[in-house]
């Protein structure tokens, strides 16, 4: 069969980067900056409760342009889902100028690349434009240095190694002299990728989209066993993706949370467990705040907290949803503590809560 020319394929960008590095922020930035383009976003979130769908969905022109893959991580358990998702896009792909895949923060991009490139039908319809890796200037070094159990890949290293562009994000959180050292570390892992520094994922988009930067040969050089074949002439990389050290704990509680109690609990938790808590995020209902919905974002000890773009709708159940991702999570403790922050029906603050 004749090969499909690249110019006829739909460009596909893989957005990778560790938990909390700024992937969703980048996707939202792209969607707001490129309104003239029709962009399809495929979200693959790690966590028992999906929060990002709501955060990205607010910026989509059409809800149909956002596809959720939430049965697991695309790089391991749901590679079949990725093929099915892209397969279902084939017929309508011409409606889109490009597709963005936001991988989970714990994804190894190598198997994702292999999945796409080894399926002829997908490869005939989609062209990987670039693998773009977000790196959190404040935390990336610790993640790169983390020792994994025997034979397991370090996802953060893989994400940087397979990237065509590395976006060194959150430069506001580290002094300039440290930034230089971080850039050197990133370049020592991947000397081919262009490193772009920024805040709030605001990069020159012409540097990351429509750039035809992806080279499959480089991926095979990095991992000779990428497509399941290894001629044995190059050192084999460990291919085990072991997520046993990390877990996700999703908690949903109905009612109104007491602001000071909740703030105190979260501040104390993130201070004492900062190293273990890779990521926390939530959509919250507070007492005394009318129909304002709040979004909570935590990355280790860093906290961002503010009103969501959408409000609680009349009749919508006031269910706060919080996801914790990290090591050694005590589900009972987290659930009890959050339930403890709920305003009791006879509490005076409850009178303030809207019906």
Binding track, positions 99-128, relative to ligand GTP; x by CB under 6 A: ------x-----------------------
- Of 73-81, 149-157, 168-176, 341-349, the window that binds ligand GTP (rule: CB under 6 A) is 168-176
Which residues are paired to 68 by β-bridges?
Answer: 43
17 near ligand GTP, judged by CB under 6 A: yes
- Write down the residue that tokens 């988009």 correspond to: 205
- Of 92-100, 197-205, 234-242, 286-294, the window that binds ligand GTP (rule: CB under 6 A) is 197-205
CB of 198 to ligand GTP, least distance (A): 7
299 near ligand GTP, judged by CB under 6 A: yes
Which of 22, 109, 255, 326 is close enough to bind ligand GTP by CB under 6 A?
22
Taking a C-beta distance cutoff of 8 angstroms, is the pair 299, 24 a contact?
no
Paired sense of beta strands 247-254 and 319-326, if any: antiparallel
Question: In what side-by-side order are the strands of the sheet with 39-43?
Answer: 66-68, 39-43, 98-102, 10-17, 126-136, 165-169, 194-197
Nearer to ligand GTP, 73 or 257 (CB): 73
| Segment 326 to 355, residues that bind ligand GTP, using CB under 6 A | none
Phi/psi region, residue 74 (left: phi>0; alpha: psi -120 to 50; beta: rest), is alpha
| Segment 128 to 147, residues that bind ligand GTP, using CB under 6 A | 134
By residue count, the chain amounts to 355
**Cβ neighbours, 10 Å, residue 311:** 12
- Beta carbons within 8 Å of 197's beta carbon, 6+ residues apart: 137, 167, 168, 171, 179, 183
In whole angstroms, give the CA distance from residue 237 to residue 291: 52
Binding track, positions 210-249, relative to ligand GTP; x by CB under 6 A: ----------------------------------------
Nearer to ligand GTP, 40 or 41 (CB): 41
199 near ligand GTP, judged by CB under 6 A: yes
Contact positions toward ligand GTP, by CB under 6 A? 17, 19-25, 52, 105, 134, 169-170, 172-173, 199-201, 279, 297, 299, 304
């Amino acid at each position: 069969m004749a090969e499909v020319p690249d110019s006829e394929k739909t460009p596909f960008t893989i957005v990778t980067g560790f938990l909390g590095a700024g992937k969703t922020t980048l996707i939202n930035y792209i969607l707001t900056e490129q309104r003239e383009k029709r962009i399809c976003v495929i979200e693959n979130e790690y966590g028992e409760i999906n929060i990002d769908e709501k955060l990205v969905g607010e910026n989509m022109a059409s809800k149909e342009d956002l596809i959720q893959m939430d049965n697991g991580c695309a790089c391991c358990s749901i590679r079949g889902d990725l093929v099915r998702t892209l397969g279902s896009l084939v017929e309508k792909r011409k409606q889109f100028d490009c597709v963005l895949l936001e991988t989970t923060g714990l994804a190894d991009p190598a198997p994702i690349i292999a999945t796409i490139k080894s399926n002829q039908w997908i490869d005939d319809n989609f062209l990987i434009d670039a693998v773009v890796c977000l790196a959190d200037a404040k935390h990336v070094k610790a993640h790169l240095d983390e020792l994994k159990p025997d034979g397991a890949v370090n996802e953060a290293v893989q994400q940087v190694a397979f990237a065509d562009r590395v976006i060194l994000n959150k430069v506001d959180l580290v002094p300039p002299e440290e930034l230089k050292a971080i850039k050197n570390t990133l370049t020592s892992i991947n000397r081919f990728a262009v490193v772009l520094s920024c805040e709030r994922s605001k990069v020159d988009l012409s540097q990351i989209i429509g750039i035809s930067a992806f080279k499959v040969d480089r991926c095979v050089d990095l991992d000779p066993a990428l497509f399941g074949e290894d001629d044995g002439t190059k050192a084999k990389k460990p291919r085990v993706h072991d997520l046993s050290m990390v877990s996700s704990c999703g908690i949903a509680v109905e009612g109104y949370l007491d602001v000071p109690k909740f703030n105190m609990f979260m501040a104390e938790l993130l201070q004492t467990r900062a190293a273990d808590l890779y990521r926390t995020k939530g959509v919250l209902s507070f007492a005394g705040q009318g129909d304002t919905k709040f979004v909570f974002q935590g990355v280790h000890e860093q906290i961002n907290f503010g009103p969501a773009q959408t409000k609680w709708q009349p009749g919508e159940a006031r269910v706060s949803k919080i996801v914790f991702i990290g090591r050694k999570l005590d589900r009972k403790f987290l659930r009890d503590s959050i339930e403890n922050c709920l305003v009791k029906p006879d509490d005076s603050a409850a009178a303030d809560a809207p019906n």
